[in-house]
Structure 1
Amino acid sequence: MLDRPAVWDISSITRKEKIDFLSLLPGFSLSPACEDLHQEREWAVFLEFLRKYERVAIAKLGLYELYILPPDEDSKFGRATVLYQVKEPKLRPSQKFDGLKIAAAEISSPPGSLAGEASMSNSDLIEDRISAQQRYPEVIGDYSCYLKAIGSNRLGYSVGPNRSFERNYVTAHPSYLKTLGQAHSSWIFGAIAELVDNSRDAKATKLEVTISMIYSKTASKDIPMLSVIDDGQGMSHSDIQRMVSFGHGQPETDDPDHIGRYGIGFKTGAMRLGKDALVLTQTANSRSIAFLSQSLNEGRDNLEVPIVSYRRTGQYMEVDASVHDEDSAKYNLKIIKKFSPFDKYLIGEKAGIFNAEGTGTQIYIWNLDEWGSTYSLQWEAGMTGGSSFHQGGIFIRSRRIRSRPGQISQMVPLDYSLKSYLEVIFLDPRMKIYVQGALVKSRPLAKSLNNTVVKDGPVLGKPVQLTLGLSQLEWEQANCGMFLYWHGRLIEAYKRVGSMIHNGDCGRGIIGVIDVTDLMDDSNGHVWVHNNKQGFQDCEAYAELERWLGEKADEYLDKYVDKIQLPVHKSELSIYHRFCYMKPFNGRCEMPEEEVEKGLITISTKRHGYNTEGPNESRNRFSEQASSELEGISEDDTPNESKQNDVQLSHKRPRRRLTRSSSCGKSADHTSNP
C-alpha cells in the first residue's frame, strides 16, 4: 500500500475525447471540505471549467494515475468523480520478475493512500509542457481546498481518513504588491530608476519618460499616466513571466554592465509609482502583454496576473498556441481591457510604436501615488520649440532634500528634479533619455571637474580608483561629497566623508567619483547593495571604504584648498600676542584688549580636532613659528610708505581652537593688515 500524499499535483489537463478507456476504470467520488467561501467558489470554478470544455484533470501518485472528472449536470455539482489505474514502471529486461505482478495485484484496488482528506493544488497544471497558469488563466487561484473522498457504490466499500504528510504551498496575497512598493518609500525617484535600469540592461539606445492624461472608464474622468518607453531588445513570453513573478535567482555569471540582480526591480518600482501597471513588449518574433494590478486583485485572496502572448506569422501577430490557447488569450485580454484604460484600439496604437519589425518595451502606470489631496509627482509639459528654460520636467512635489550627515545646503536639484538625477545616474551614459519630451544632457561628473586628482589604492586588498576635483556648480550650491557608483549606476550621491561630516561648509565644491563594483561584489556571491539600489549594506567593505575616502578627501583639502596667501612683515609679529589665554567664563581679563582696526582679516576656520595644548605652549609655538618664517627678511624688504613690495608667505589655517575668555569677544585666531 502506498502512502497517500496530502497534496495532489495535477500533471496535465486534456480533452476527454482523447482518453477512450475511461469507462473501463474503477473510481470513487470526491466532495470538497473547503476552509472558506473563497476556496469553495474556486473549486466550483475548476469543476465548471472541466465540464464546460469537456476536460479531464490528471494527477499521478506513485504507480497510480488519477483522472478527475466533473459531475454530471443532473448530479450534485460540488462532488467530482475520480477514476484511476495502475501504471507499471518501465524496467530494464534484467529487472522484470514475476513478483511484480503480485505487487501490482495487491494495490489494484483503491488504496487507503487515496482516501481520506487530501489537499489538491493546481500550481503545476500543464498540458504539452504548458502550465495551467498559461493555458487556463480563468481557473488560476487558490484551489488548495481539502477534498473528502467518499467511496462510491460501484466500489462497494468506504474509505476513512489516513493522513501521511502535508506540504505547504506559498500563495501571494494582493496586499503584497503594496508591500513591494515600500522598498522606495523614502524616495520615489528610486522607483523610476528601477525601470531605467531595465532599459539599460536591454541594450536600449533611447528612453522616454512621460506623464500625460488619459481617460479612465472606471473613474469616468481623465487621470495621469506615467509611461516609460525604450527601444531595447524586448522580452519573450518566458522573460515577461519572469518579470512579473516574485523574485528569482541571481545571475550565474557576473556581467559588469548588467545592473539587475534581485528580480524584483520592476515590481517594487511600478507598485511604488502607482497601483496598476501594464507592460507591452516586442521582440523580433513575438509580442506580449502583462498586467500587474492592485485594482484587479482587490478583495481577492490570491494574485492573478493576466498575460497574453503572440508570435509572428509572416507579417501578422497571432496568438501563441504554444503557451496558451485562444480562449485563454481572449479571457486575459478581456480582463486587461476591463480593469485598465486600454481598449483594443489603444493597445493597437501603442503596438504601432514598435513599427513593423521594431523591438522594445513600453510600461504604463496609472492610479499614481498621492501626496495629500494631489499626486506625489509634479509634471510640466513644456513648450515645443522653446528654449531650455521652457522645457518640461518631472519633479517631486514636496521638493524635500534627502537627509545626509553634515548636509547644510537646501539647493540639491538631484533630490527633486528627475532630469537632474538622470544627468548623473550612469557613470558611462549609453542611451539618450527624454523627460517630458526634452533631452536630458548627460553630465559625466569625472569629466566636469577642475583641478582633478586621481587617487589609486587598495581597500581590503581590492583596487579602487577615486577622482577628486572642484565643481563650480556645486560650490555655488554649497554642495560637496562623494558619488558612489556600482556597475556604472549611481547608488549614493553627496556622501560626506572625513572632515566634511563635522563642518558643513568644509570641502565646499569638492566632488569625488568612484566605482565600487569590485569591492561590493565579493567572491562568495554576496552583493553589499540594498535591493532598492539606493545605499550600501553595513559591512566591513563599506566601513573601510568610508575611512579610505575620508583620508583622501582630507589630503586633497590640505593640498589644494586649505591654504591662504597673506602679506606679512616684522611689525606684525605682535599679532601672536593679541590672544587672550585666560580661562573662559571667569568674568575678568587681566590683559587689556586690543581693538581690531578696520581692514584686518579675521580667520577662525577649523576643520577637525581640538586643542590639547595649554595657553603657554600655544603662545610660544605661534611666536617661534612666526620668527622662523621671518628669518632672512632684511630691513630693506620691510614695506614702507614709498615701497609696496609685500612678501607673500603661505600660512595654513590653525586647526586647533584657541581658548579665550568671555570678555574677549573681538579677539581672533589670526589677524593681519591687508
Structure 2
Amino acid sequence: MVLPLGCRGARGPPPHLQAACVLNQASSNLSEVGGDRSYHGEVLKHISAPPPCSAARTCRNFWSAGDYDAEVGLSTRQPQSVQNRMCVHPKFLHSNATSHKWPFGAVAELLDNAVDEIQTGGATRINVDKVIDHRNGSPALLVQDDGGGMDPDSIRCCMSFEFSDKQSGSSIGQYGNGFKTSTMRLGADAIVFSRSTKSGELTQSIGLLSYTFLVETGQKDVVVPVVDYKCNLFTGQTKRFKRHGPEHFSSNLSVLLKWSPFLTEEELMQNFTDIGPHGTKIIVFNLWSNDDGNLELDFDTNPEDIMIRGAPEEINNSVKRVNENHLANRLRYSLRLPEYFKIILRGKEVARHCVAADLLYPECISYRPQVCGGKEVEVLTSIGFLNGAPTISIHGFNIYHKNRLILPFHRVLSTASSKGKGVSGVLEADFIKPTHDKQDFEKSQLYQKLINRLKDMTNEYW
C-alpha cells in the first residue's frame, strides 16, 4: 500500500553548502556520555547567558542561516586543563541539513524514524500537526509516535553525530543522521520528549538541539542540553535523574527553559501527558522562512494539510491541470506500511492508496539481478497504463527501498519521445543503496543495470 503525506509543492534546490568541522580546544571536564556534549556546572551557565546585542543574529532564511561568525557572540570560557579533540562546529548542523533540498524530504525523514519503530518499538501511529510556540506565538511542527521511545543513553545517541543502532536489514534509517538533518532543515531549533522502559525502568528524557542557542551564544562546538527523569505511572511520581550531579542537571535545565518554547519545568513535563507509557514527541520551532519572509511550511492554505508556500494555486491550461492534479504529483513522498499503522495529519488519518491498483492493463514482470557474491534476487515489477493515458504526460517507475518511495515516477525514456507516454510501474529495489538523504539511489552498476532493464521493460510493454 502507498501512504501519501498529502502534501505537494514546488522544488527550489539551491546549491549545497560546505560542511564545517573544526579541530578545537575543549574542556577536559566535558560530559560525553552516549555522545552528549553538555558542559558541567558554571561553564554551561556561562554560555547560556544572552548575547550582548539586543537583536537576534540568527537568520530565519534557511539558505542564508549558515553565514555567521562565532567570534561575534560570546565565546566559550575554556578551563585551564584542555585537550585537543575533534569537535562539530555549529555551522555543520546547517550545512549537514542542506542534503534536504526541500522541506518535505525532511518531513519524510522524520516519518521514517517512526516507521522504523514499527518493528523495534511496536509503533502503531504517528501524528503530524501544527502547534503554537507560546513564547513568541509562531507556528511549530509536531511529529509524535507511540514507539518504544528513547532511554537516557538512546536520546544522547540520537542527538549526537555518527551513530546509528539501526543495523536491521528492514530499517530505513541506517545512517544515524536523519534526526539532525531533518529537524535542522525544517527549523532552527528542535526539542525532543521521550518516554521509555528500555533500560528496565520507566524514564523520561528531554533534549534540545538549538541552532539559535548555539549561534547567539557564539559556540564553537555543538552543545546539546539533556535532562532525565525516573517516573512511576501508577503513583504519578516523577523524580529528577541526576546522573552527573545536581549542578549539571540544573545547568542543562536552565538552558532548556531559556531557549525552548517552555518557560517552566512544569510546562516541560506537561508534554508527557499525551505520550502514554512509551513514545517520542518532536517539536520543531523557529521554522525557516522563504525569500519573501513567509514560513516555508504553509499551515493556512489548507487546514487539513501542510503545504510548501509558493506552490501555484491555479492552473489555466486544462492539460496542465490534469497533469498537476494527477495522483503522481501528490505522492512525492510515500511509504508502504502495515494495515494497522496510521499517519494522522492535522487530526485526520491519511487515506491509503495503492498506485499499482490504478494501473490499466497491468502486467507483472520478474527481473533477477545478481548482487554481492553472485547471489540472485528476484524483483517483481507491476507495469501498466496510468488512468488518463495518453493525454497525461506523466510516466515512469515508482522505485521503493525498504518500503520508502525513493524515486517517484522516475522517467527512464527520453522526454523528447512520445514512446512510453502514460506507462508506469511499481517495484521494490532493496538490492541497491539509496543516497545519504534517501532522495535518490547511488549510481552503482547495479542501479544502472536496473534502469536499463526498466527501459527495455517499457519499450516491450509499449
* Shorter-chain TM band: 0.7 to 0.9
Q: Secondary structure at the match of 1:354?
A: coil
Asked if 1 retains the 8 angstrom alpha-carbon contact of 2:36 and 2:156, the reply is no
Match among 62, 87, 99 for residue 171 of structure 1: 87
Match among 243, 251, 266 for residue 179 of structure 2: 266
TM-fit CA distance, 1:247: 1.6
For the residues of structure 2 that align with 1:431 and 1:320, how far apart are their CA atoms? 33
Letter in 2 for 1:456: S
Asked if 2 retains the 8 angstrom alpha-carbon contact of 1:236 and 1:282, the reply is yes
For the residues of structure 1 that align with 2:113 and 2:231, how far apart are their CA atoms? 24
1:122 aligns with 2:29: yes
Asked if 1 retains the 8 angstrom alpha-carbon contact of 2:29 and 2:39, the reply is no
Asked if 1 retains the 8 angstrom alpha-carbon contact of 2:128 and 2:141, the reply is yes
For the residues of structure 2 that align with 1:169 and 1:316, how far apart are their CA atoms? 40
Match among 214, 218, 225 for residue 297 of structure 1: 214
Match among 257, 261, 278 for residue 191 of structure 2: 278
From the superposition, tell whether residues 477 and 211 of structure 1 become closer, same or farther in structure 2 (CA, over 3 Å): farther
1:459 aligns with 2:369: yes
Q: How does 1:222-621 map to 2 (within 5 A)?
A: 222-248=137-163, 251=166, 253-256=167-170, 258-284=171-197, 285-298=202-215, 299-313=218-232, 314-321=235-242, 323-344=243-264, 345-355=266-276, 358-372=277-291, 373-380=293-300, 392-399=304-311, 411=324, 420-421=331-332, 424-426=334-336, 431-460=341-370, 461-472=376-387, 477-498=392-413, 501-503=415-417, 505-517=418-430, 519-520=431-432, 528-557=433-462
* Higher gyration radius (CA): 1
Q: Cα deviations across residues 51-71 of structure 1 (Å, max 9, x unaligned)?
A: xxxxxxxxxxxxxxxxxxxxx
TM-fit CA distance, 1:410: 5.6
TM-fit CA distance, 1:226: 0.7
For the residues of structure 2 that align with 1:147 and 1:556, how far apart are their CA atoms? 71
TM-score of the pair, normalised by structure 1: 0.52
Q: Secondary structure at the match of 1:352?
A: coil
For the residues of structure 1 that align with 2:116 and 2:399, how far apart are their CA atoms? 20
For the residues of structure 2 that align with 1:319 and 1:475, how far apart are their CA atoms? 64
Asked if 2 retains the 8 angstrom alpha-carbon contact of 1:434 and 1:440, the reply is yes
- Name 1:12's counterpart in structure 2: none
From the superposition, tell whether residues 421 and 232 of structure 1 become closer, same or farther in structure 2 (CA, over 3 Å): farther
Letter in 1 for 2:324: M
Count of residues paired in the alignment: 383
Q: Secondary structure at the match of 1:169?
A: strand
For the residues of structure 2 that align with 1:541 and 1:303, how far apart are their CA atoms? 38
For the residues of structure 2 that align with 1:196 and 1:454, how far apart are their CA atoms? 29
Deviates more, 1:458-467 or 1:287-296: 458-467
Q: How does 1:39-58 map to 2 (within 5 A)?
A: none
Match among 40, 46, 49 for residue 136 of structure 1: 40
For the residues of structure 1 that align with 2:386 and 2:411, how far apart are their CA atoms? 15
TM-fit CA distance, 1:183: 0.9
Deviates more, 1:135-144 or 1:271-280: 135-144
Q: Cα deviations across residues 1-31 of structure 1 (Å, max 9, x unaligned)?
A: xxxxxxxxxxxxxxxxxxxxxxxxxxxxxxx
Letter in 1 for 2:249: A
Match among 85, 94, 107 for residue 192 of structure 1: 107
Q: Cα deviations across residues 530-554 of structure 1 (Å, max 9, x unaligned)?
A: 1110001111011000001111111
Letter in 2 for 1:374: N
For the residues of structure 1 that align with 2:151 and 2:275, how far apart are their CA atoms? 15
Letter in 2 for 1:121: S
From the superposition, tell whether residues 134 and 200 of structure 1 become closer, same or farther in structure 2 (CA, over 3 Å): same
TM-fit CA distance, 1:319: 1.5
TM-fit CA distance, 1:346: 3.0
Identity of counterpart residues, as a percentage?
Answer: 27
Q: Cα deviations across residues 547-592 of structure 1 (Å, max 9, x unaligned)?
A: 01111111111xxxxxxxxxxxxxxxxxxxxxxxxxxxxxxxxxxx
- Name 2:51's counterpart in structure 1: none
For the residues of structure 2 that align with 1:549 and 1:469, how far apart are their CA atoms? 13
Q: Cα deviations across residues 295-353 of structure 1 (Å, max 9, x unaligned)?
A: 111111122100011112453221224x3333322221221111121123432332111
TM-fit CA distance, 1:449: 2.5
TM-fit CA distance, 1:287: 0.7
RMSD: 3.1
TM-fit CA distance, 1:476: 6.5
TM-fit CA distance, 1:281: 0.8
Asked if 2 retains the 8 angstrom alpha-carbon contact of 1:291 and 1:336, the reply is yes
Letter in 2 for 1:484: I
Letter in 1 for 2:452: R
For the residues of structure 1 that align with 2:194 and 2:391, how far apart are their CA atoms? 44
TM-fit CA distance, 1:214: 2.8
Q: Cα deviations across residues 573-631 of structure 1 (Å, max 9, x unaligned)?
A: xxxxxxxxxxxxxxxxxxxxxxxxxxxxxxxxxxxxxxxxxxxxxxxxxxxxxxxxxxx
TM-fit CA distance, 1:121: 3.0
Letter in 2 for 1:292: L
TM-score of the pair, normalised by structure 2: 0.75
For the residues of structure 1 that align with 2:332 and 2:339, how far apart are their CA atoms? 13
TM-fit CA distance, 1:381: 7.7
Q: How does 1:56-135 map to 2 (within 5 A)?
A: 121-123=28-30, 133=37
Q: Secondary structure at the match of 1:533?
A: coil
For the residues of structure 2 that align with 1:351 and 1:474, how far apart are their CA atoms? 50
Asked if 2 retains the 8 angstrom alpha-carbon contact of 1:470 and 1:509, the reply is yes
For the residues of structure 2 that align with 1:432 and 1:125, how far apart are their CA atoms? 37
For the residues of structure 1 that align with 2:164 and 2:349, how far apart are their CA atoms? 36
TM-fit CA distance, 1:467: 0.8
From the superposition, tell whether residues 415 and 471 of structure 1 become closer, same or farther in structure 2 (CA, over 3 Å): closer
From the superposition, tell whether residues 139 and 416 of structure 1 become closer, same or farther in structure 2 (CA, over 3 Å): farther
For the residues of structure 2 that align with 1:415 and 1:539, how far apart are their CA atoms? 26
Match among 196, 201, 206 for residue 116 of structure 2: 201
Letter in 2 for 1:379: F
1:214 aligns with 2:130: no
Q: Cα deviations across residues 448-469 of structure 1 (Å, max 9, x unaligned)?
A: 3232211012123432111112
TM-fit CA distance, 1:223: 0.8
For the residues of structure 2 that align with 1:191 and 1:131, how far apart are their CA atoms? 23
From the superposition, tell whether residues 243 and 354 of structure 1 become closer, same or farther in structure 2 (CA, over 3 Å): same
Asked if 2 retains the 8 angstrom alpha-carbon contact of 1:122 and 1:143, the reply is no
Q: Secondary structure at the match of 2:363?
A: strand
Letter in 2 for 1:330: S
Asked if 1 retains the 8 angstrom alpha-carbon contact of 2:29 and 2:40, the reply is no
For the residues of structure 1 that align with 2:169 and 2:379, how far apart are their CA atoms? 18
From the superposition, tell whether residues 540 and 412 of structure 1 become closer, same or farther in structure 2 (CA, over 3 Å): farther
